[in-house]
Amino acid sequence: MHNIRWVKFGLYRRSFYEGHSLRQVDMFLDLIRQKKFHIVIDRTFPLSEARAAHRYLEGRDHFGKIVLTP
């Protein structure tokens, strides 16, 4: 765990178009292709329960993503 580095990027930011950010995106996509990056889904809510999902997020007891389904 000593060599783990968190990288944050966003497509909406101007700096995304600079070379440094594009390299970070390439590294991130490579990790996904190599199956070394896993998305953790904590809980799934139907869209009709979006309010409950939001309350769950506000509780800060989650670990991972909260997914809304149709």
Where along the chain do its domains lie?
A: 1-37, 39-70
Write the pLDDT tens digit of every residue in 12-32.
Answer: 555 555 566 677 778 878 888
Show Cβ contacts of residue 14 under 8 Å, excluding neighbours closer than 6 positions. none
User: What's the chain's average pLDDT?
Assistant: 78
9: alpha, beta or left, given left = phi > 0 and alpha = psi -120 to 50? beta
Rounded to two decimals, what is the model's pTM? 0.53
